[in-house]
Amino acid sequence: MNTAFPRKWEHAVVTGGAGFVGSHLCAALLDSGAAVTCVDDFSTGLPENISILTGRPGFSFVEADVAQPFTVDRTPDLVLHFASPASPADYLRLPLHTLETGSLGTRHVLALAHRAGARFLLASTSEVYGDPQQHPQNERYWGNVNPVGPRSVYDEAKRFGEALTTAHADALGTDTCIVRLFNTYGPRMRGYDGRAVPTFVRQALAGEPLTVTGDGLQTRSLCFVDDTVRGILAAAAHGLRGPVNIGNPTEITMLELARLVIELSGSSSEIRFVERPTDDPAVRCPDITLARDKLQWEPGIAAEEGLRRTIDWFRARPRGSAAHGS
């Protein structure tokens, strides 16, 4: 991964740093020469995600729920707020925790950044666009979200987090940035987290039917985690307030994705169609004009390559590991 970022950080705090994207961010920041404090409560993150970072110079860990007041030992100049359940299995299991992390948690992390005079970056999501009626989605689109549907605990937590971040910047002058991430995938995802890529990969490697919801014609835009991390750190370094979409504008249907996973894994699995979840978006594709123009960022890893790397990582995991469990 290219870690030659245009701005050097001395000390970064990454909330949710033991999660999927957060742990990759911690590693990239360490590689760039920054000290990193990872904050996580392990409600969805995994100790094994940061075990390879423990002992590296500059890395420290604070076990804390950001919805409660917490402290770090060293003043940061960058604060990246990634704490939140992000997969359907997690936010449906932890609805109140998800909402509290997006509200109280965001407030506590913003306060930390403000006191330190640090750059603050909020990890928001393409879910703020809901089941979009504009396609592709640019940052000016307000979205089509059901505020009381089953996905609302995640959608509204992130939408509130965006509003709070904006208000903090306007009212107090906090240096903030909002990134909206689209369907990131790659190593360190959990096989049972409910998202399409790890579900399909787990099923294909086990020889189980791949469960495609509905008719499988709904689309997503898959961005490999290395590309996502580059985009996040480019946004942090630029000074852009955002929101800015970080994602891959190449769409793929869920049926095409299932077939591609079967092909790349050499699996003999078949495809089985199952009921489609309520409020499942029909399309999802980012307009990344802003990221290209302002950040000079765009994804560079094609789906085939990213899926091969992801499949290889899952294949190397021992059966019954946390990566395979819930």
- What residues are annotated to the active site? 154
User: Rounded to an integer, what distance in angstroms lies between the CA atom of residue 154 and that of residue 279?
Assistant: 13
Which element (helix H / strand E) includes 201?
Answer: helix 196-206
Contact 71, 33 (CB under 8 A): no
Closest of 264, 154, 247 to residue 200, by C-alpha: 264
The DSSP line for 97-144 is: HHHHIIIIIHHHHHHHHHHHT-EEEEEEEGGGGBS-SSSSB-TT---B
Which element (helix H / strand E) includes 206?
Answer: helix 196-206
Closest of 106, 119, 16, 21 to residue 61, by C-alpha: 16
The DSSP line for 36-93 is: EEEEE-SSS--HHHHHTTTTSTTEEEEE--TTS----SS--SEEEE--S--SHHHHHH
* Number of residues in the chain: 326
Longest CA span, the chain: 58
CA 300 to chain centre: 18
Q: Kindly list the distances between the CA atom of residue 160 and the CA atoms of 30, 128, 154, 180, 284, in Å, as whole numbers in the listed order.
A: 30, 10, 10, 13, 21
User: Rounded to an integer, what distance in angstroms lies between the CA atom of residue 43 and that of residue 100?
Assistant: 13
Q: What is the dihedral of CA 139, 145, 150, 153, to 10 degrees?
A: 60
What residue has token string 């560079």? 300
